[in-house]
Chain A
């Protein structure tokens, strides 16, 4: 009966990011969501549990007011959640998140056979937390997994790689990061959302952690990308295609023929 941990990140929903009046982004009215790829991680954990039994717990690192994310995650099937939170846990780098998760998972009584992460987060998409966490825990890791078969004390996974599909066997405990192709996450029903509030959440504060989690990077600025429209309509006729190429060369978007 496997114990499965699924990691998720509560991120800004990019649909709500607006352009500011200057170069900055307007984040005043943003809403948050579970990182898209982490929904696949939660779904896969729950599907494996439905097939093999055992238990599923969700785990996240965030700010104390990120409670909506916990309810969202729990409404998707896990029985309980570990909420590692502190007001300083804002815009963490992958190295920090992995170190915090490793201390909690490795140094506590959390019983697990498999850890599932999304392939990356839908805000930074650094794709580092899973592999870094596995390295710190000293367990095997397979990233970019599109299929998981679970057996007694091992998993067989399919990794999507550039030239094809790699099939790997990993002894448990292990960590995988999953691709969106692996499943289609369920939409929580009304009762799923209502029951999520009643599920246990294990609150873990910074004062319960002994490590130091200093950042490696310094963010200098985040600014918007401008997309100008010229409003020129072109057909697929040869003369229009030539006009388009000429216009793109003139604007320096593509190089001219030398």
Chain B
């Protein structure tokens, strides 16, 4: 058993850390405050080949292992969880299904510009009445000659307002239940696709989220992703991959919470000494360090299994639920260590506590992760 990262992985982590110090840290507060999409940062990420990390070079990616991708998402999220998620949503949720289920033509047409970061991707599965219950979706796709006609409304579409390429799910045959769901690739310039309401969120505010409205949206047959009826399988497999990214994002948030806590506790003087000398603070930080290590190993293990071509669905769910819950616990503890300061704008832990919450919700709630884990271990 080897716990050592390769020299390349260590260098990639260090380079991403340097990238965040130079380009992300300086804007992280402002983009959170204004819910602003950091287009200039995303362009810089594209220039550095960070937008298509796990996909082969022939499709515009860098061809690195998923483990390396998880390390980068963690490091980017340590600086700004919203930017980390913009990248992971684009990479895992939008580009992932095209790479895994797309035809050669679809990969050349859609994946290459996504992996190069020339275009931004989004993934539309959630609907007002279909969250965890994906099968409750009502969006329909009716074949009319050589085109499918899609009608319905998707909600909470991450990257929706800024994306160029969407992977969107609709029922081609509702009577078949989950087996009637299909996936489609749709470009933003399709006149039948419109950005609806923007959502202004509690956390990851710089990540752009909106409704996507499909009204008589005509999609050519060649843009059906996979086969008719394969949508549920594509959605679930995509979430398996995406969960590794969210687990990594949660580890990055928690690491940042610990970094801030250590720095603050060493400087904050109360009763004539730094509060880091108090056992109460030491124990909180000890628990943070322990849980972050545990979550990081779970996350890296899930990525490792994927890289080995082994089943990783259960491990990805374990990593996601554990990392998300520990990030919430410790972001809250970090605010506690900062006291009143931590509750105010201007201290990073305030943003971290807001950002952490979403990791328990999207790409499968903590409850959904437990369903996946239980389904695997109770077989």
CB of A60 within 8 Å of the partner chain: no
Q: What 0/1 pattern do residues 230 to 274 of B give for CB contact below 8 A with A? A: 000000000000000000000000000000000000000100111
CB of A72 within 8 A of chain B? yes
Q: Is there a chain A Cβ closer than 8 Å to B33's Cβ?
A: no
A194 touches B7 (CB 8 A): no
Please choose the segment from B42-50, B180-188, B214-222, B307-315 that sits at the chain A interface, where 4 or more of its residues have CB less than 8 A away: B42-50
The residue on A at minimum CB distance from B69 is: A190
Whether the Cβ atoms of A67 and B64 lie closer than 8 Å is no
State the majority secondary structure of interface residues on B: helix
Distance from A253 Cβ to chain B, minimum over Cβ atoms (Å) = 20
* Interface residue A187 (Cβ < 8 Å from any Cβ of B): yes
In the bound complex, CA of A62 to CA of B37 (Å): 45
Judged by a CB distance under 8 angstroms, whether A68 is at the interface is yes
- Report B92 CB to chain A, min CB distance, Å: 16
Residues in A whose Cβ lies below 8 Å from that of B272: 231
Least CB distance, A120 to chain B, in whole angstroms: 21
A189 in contact with B48 given A231-B272, A231-B273 (CB within 8 Å): yes
Interface residues of A in 22-76 (CB under 8 A from B): 33, 67-68, 71-72, 75
**Closest beta carbon of chain A to B88's beta carbon, Å:** 15
Contact partners of A194 in chain B: CB under 8 A: 8, 62-64
Closest CB in chain A relative to B66 CB, distance in Å: 14
Contacts of A231 in B (CB 8 A): 269, 272-274
Q: Report the bound CA distance from A73 to B57 in whole Å.
A: 23
| B48: contacting residue among A71, A72, A187, CB under 8 A | A187
Give the residues in chain A near B63, CB-CB below 8 Å: 194
Contact assessment for A193 and B8 in the assembled complex, using a CB-CB cutoff below 8 Å = yes
Asked whether A258 is an interface residue with its Cβ less than 8 Å from the other chain, the reply is no
Nearest-CB distance from A255 to chain B (Å)? 28
**Contact A68–B50 (Cβ < 8 Å):** no
Task: For A197, list chain B residues within 8 Å (CB).
Answer: 8
CB 8 Å contact bits of B59-102 with A (1 = contact, 0 = none): 00011100000001000000000000000000000000000000
Instruction: Give the distance in Å from the alpha carbon of A229 to the alpha carbon of B268 in the complex.
Output: 11
Q: Decide if A189 touches B47 in the complex (CB within 8 Å).
A: yes
The answer to whether B11 and A190 have CB atoms under 8 Å apart is no
B53 near A190: Cβ-Cβ < 8 Å: yes
Q: Are A187 and B19 in contact (CB under 8 A)?
A: yes
Q: Is B15 part of the binding interface, using a Cβ–Cβ cutoff of 8 Å?
A: yes
Cα distance A67–B48 in the bound complex, in angstroms:
23
Write the nearest CB–CB distance from A108 to chain B, whole angstroms. 27
The contact string, 1 if C-beta is below 8 Å from chain B, for chain A 170-184, is 000000000000000
Give Cα distance in the complex from A75 to B10, angstroms.
13
Q: Which residues of A contact B62 (CB under 8 A)?
A: 190-191, 194
Contacts of A75 in B (CB 8 A): 11, 15
Assembly CA distance A187 to B62 (angstroms): 16
- The answer on a CB contact under 8 Å between A68 and B7 is yes
Which residues, 264 to 286 on B, are CB-close (under 8 Å) to A? 269, 272-274
B47 touches A188 (CB 8 A): no
- B12 interface residue (CB < 8 Å to A): yes
Residue of B nearest to A189 (CB): B48
Q: How far is the CB of B151 from chain A (nearest CB, A)?
A: 40
Q: Mark A223-249, 1 if CB is under 8 A from B, else 0.
A: 000000101000000000000000000
Residues of B within 8 A of A (CB): 7-8, 10-12, 14-15, 18-19, 22, 47-50, 53, 57, 62-64, 72, 269, 272-274
A residues apposed to B, CB below 8 Å: 33, 67-68, 71-72, 75, 187-191, 193-194, 196-197, 229, 231
Can you spell out 15 A-B residue pairs with CB atoms less than 8 angstroms apart?
A68-B7, A71-B8, A187-B19, A187-B22, A187-B48, A188-B11, A189-B47, A189-B50, A190-B15, A190-B53, A190-B62, A191-B62, A193-B11, A197-B8, A229-B269
